């Protein structure tokens, strides 16, 4: 364990790769994928991908992918430590992304260090809502309400949603998650009041409800909101269990019951875009119907992170519920956009690239912990300045408006 005084860039650690994986990594050029891997490299998994592709079962275009330096990354998932589970190979170094690099692509600042084992940290990073996206939602909500509020964060994970609302001046009052190590991360950076356990556990549910009602009464002079993204593995298009037989897909019902009991001024629900297509849209309609039964005003957004000055292509579904009839909220305005030949809107700046996000971090090898290394350069882009705490999220976003 490193002495805290030796840590300069927390979690700048890269996973160890096998000899075969290293051979694969060396064979994939920037923007390339499994199609660039020579037949001479033995891999049953790649053989299966080739067979599946030949049968017309999908291109698997991001598998074994290497990032392009002038583009945002693809979605960071919880397996960014493996070359074959997405587009996770560094744009110029022969390794997969470090945990800090993945965290940056998610918009967690360098000062935000994660607790737990390598696997636990990967999960916290990969499952998080980008804090910078949450910040822009919170800012939009503040303008709508006319004041900043307080919030409870359910299914909090490391605190992507919570951090964004905190950046926007909202007060975190309580967080809950089933994983204690995730709450350890949350408590260190956002708020120490946490309760570990599942919302589906009646004892935990009642405890959280009682705490929430108490917090609501103590803060009656300000908006009181609930944030929550129930575990998304069952809904995710990357998962193996896209059906309502997955118990995790019923946690939204517990979330709904919680809102019904606590009666907040509003709530924010977040999940993966795969929710929209499950059972040809029937599952999303079920989710909306559940929340419509407990609030009079409900609306939905599908937001793409690359449109919000975040260096990652990440599509997520949001539902926003209000306790008052006739309330609605416009989605945050776009700040950036992908370059598809030419810009679709000349007034919107190009999306943030992985090079803009990562180029100041020191080079490392696979299986290396670079947390004690110095930055390679000073912060040379606005995004790097944000990540290193040299500018605030508000100042960063203002540059794009």
Percent of the chain with pLDDT over 70: 94
Instruction: Identify whether 87 is a catalytic site residue.
Output: no
Look at the pTM and tell me if it is higher than 0.75.
Answer: yes
Residue 246's pLDDT band (cuts 50, 70, 90): low
Catalytic residue from among 14, 87, 150, 232 = 232
Mean pLDDT of the chain: 93
Quick one: average pLDDT of 156-177? 98
Extents of the domains making up the chain: 14-105+353-398, 128-336
Tell me: the pLDDT tens digits for 261-320? 999 999 999 999 988 988 888 888 999 999 999 999 999 999 999 999 999 999 999 999
CATH number of 14-105+353-398: 3.90.120
**Domain 128-336 annotated CATH 3.40.50.150:** yes
Task: Work out the average pLDDT over 60-87.
Answer: 95
Q: Three-state secondary structure along the chain?
A: CCCHHHCCCCCCECCCCCHHHHHHHHHCCCCCCHHHCCCCCCCHHHHHHHHHHHCCCCCCCCCCEECCCCCCECCCCCCCCCHHHCEEECCCCCCECCHHHHHHHCCCCCCCCCCCCHHHHHHHHHHCCCHHHHHHHHHHHHHHHCCCCEEEEECCCCCHHHHHHHHCCCEEEEEEECCHHHHHHHHHHCCCCEEECCCCCHHHHHHHHHHHHHHHHHCCCCCEEEEECCCCCCCCCCCCCCCCCCHHHHHHHHHHHHHHHHCCCEEEEEEEHHHHCHHHHHHHHHHHHHHHCCCCEEEEEEEEHHHHCCCECCEEEEEEEECCCCCCCCCCCCCEECCECECCCCCCEECCCHHHHHCCCCCCCCCCECCCCCCCCCCCCHHHHHHCCCCCHHHHHHCCC
């Amino acid at each position: 364990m490193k002495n805290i005084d030796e840590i300069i860039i927390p979690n700048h650690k890269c996973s160890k790769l096998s000899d075969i994986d290293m051979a694969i990594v060396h064979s994939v050029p920037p923007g390339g994928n499994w199609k660039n891997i020579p037949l001479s490299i033995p891999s049953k998994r790649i053989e299966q991908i080739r067979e599946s592709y030949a049968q017309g079962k999908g291109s698997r275009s991001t598998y074994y992918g290497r990032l392009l330096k002038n583009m945002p990354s693809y979605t960071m998932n919880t397996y960014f430590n493996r070359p074959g589970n997405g587009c996770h190979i560094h744009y110029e170094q022969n390794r997969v992304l470090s945990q800090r690099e993945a965290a940056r692509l998610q918009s967690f600042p360098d000062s935000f260090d994660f607790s737990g084992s390598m696997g636990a940290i990967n999960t916290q990073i990969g499952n998080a809502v980008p804090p910078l996206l949450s910040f822009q939602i919170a800012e939009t909500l503040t303008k709508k309400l006319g004041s900043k509020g307080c919030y409870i964060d359910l299914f909090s994970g490391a605190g992507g949603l919570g951090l964004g609302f905190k950046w926007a001046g909202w007060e975190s009052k309580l967080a809950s998650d089933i994983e204690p190590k995730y709450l350890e991360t949350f408590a260190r950076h956002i708020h120490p009041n946490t309760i570990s356990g599942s919302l589906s556990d009646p004892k935990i549910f009642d405890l959280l409800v009682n705490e929430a009602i108490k917090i609501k009464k103590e803060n009656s002079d300000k908006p009181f909101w609930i944030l929550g993204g129930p575990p998304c593995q069952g809904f995710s298009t990357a998962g193996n269990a896209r059906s309502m037989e997955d118990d995790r897909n019923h946690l939204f019902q517990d979330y709904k019951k919680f809102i019904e009991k606590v009666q907040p001024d509003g709530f924010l629900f977040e999940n993966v875009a795969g929710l929209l297509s499950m059972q040809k849209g029937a599952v999303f309609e079920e989710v909306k119907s559940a929340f419509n039964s407990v609030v009079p005003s409900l609306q939905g957004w599908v937001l793409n992170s690359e449109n919000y000055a975040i260096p990652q292509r990440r599509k997520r579904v949001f539902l926003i519920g209000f306790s008052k009839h006739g309330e609605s909220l416009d989605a945050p305005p776009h700040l950036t956009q992908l370059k598809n030949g030419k810009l679709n809107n000349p007034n919107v700046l190009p999306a943030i690239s992985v090079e803009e996000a990562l180029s100041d971090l020191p080079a490392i090898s696979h299986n290396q912990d670079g947390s004690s290394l110095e930055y390679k350069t000073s912060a040379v882009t606005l995004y790097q300045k944000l990540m290193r705490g040299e500018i605030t999220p508000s100042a960063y976003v203002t540059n794009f408006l």
